[in-house]
Amino acid sequence: QVQLVESGGGLVQPGGSLRLSCAASGFTLDAYTIGWFRQAPGKEREGVSCIRGSDGSTYYADSMEGRFTISRDNAKSTVYLQMNSLKPEDTAVYYCAMETYGSSCVMGYSDGMDYWGKGTLVTVSS
């Protein structure tokens, strides 16, 4: 069965960095689009970044581009999200998700994602 397990969250100071991991199992990683989403307290869930399975193309929300980098290691069945220059407003639960078919992820549409991990909490605070 499909499983997605996030890790790497924690407490970091503003301006710091974290690297999140999403370990995938039950499917071939490079055959599907994987996305990162986040939900901050009191806010709607929003798209962060996506990587396409077909060619590895990456997409970022405007507020993330230049600070966040998504990548994958197919041999390890793992997708990463490198987060730099973190801000307090980045505080959120970060989820990885898989899209079986379609183009929802690259448009930031979380409702189109088919499988979700349980999330990992990132807290940016001094």
8 Å CB contact between 72 and 79: yes
Name which residue leads in pLDDT, 78 or 65. 78
Q: Tens of pLDDT along 18-70?
A: 999 999 999 988 889 999 999 999 999 999 999 998 889 999 999 887 999 99
Chain-centroid distance of CA 46 in Å reads 10
Name which residue leads in pLDDT, 85 or 102. 85
8 Å CB contact between 33 and 106: yes
Mean pLDDT across the chain, nearest whole number? 95
What number of residues does the chain have? 126
Work out the percent of the chain whose per-residue pLDDT is above 90.
85
User: Could you tell me which residues come within 8 angstroms of residue 114 by beta carbon, excluding any fewer than 6 positions away?
Assistant: 97, 98, 99, 100
Chain-centroid distance of CA 3 in Å reads 15
Q: What six digits make up the tokens of 24?
A: 């995938």
Q: Identify each DSSP E strand in 53-112 by its residue range.
A: 58-60, 68-73, 78-83, 92-99
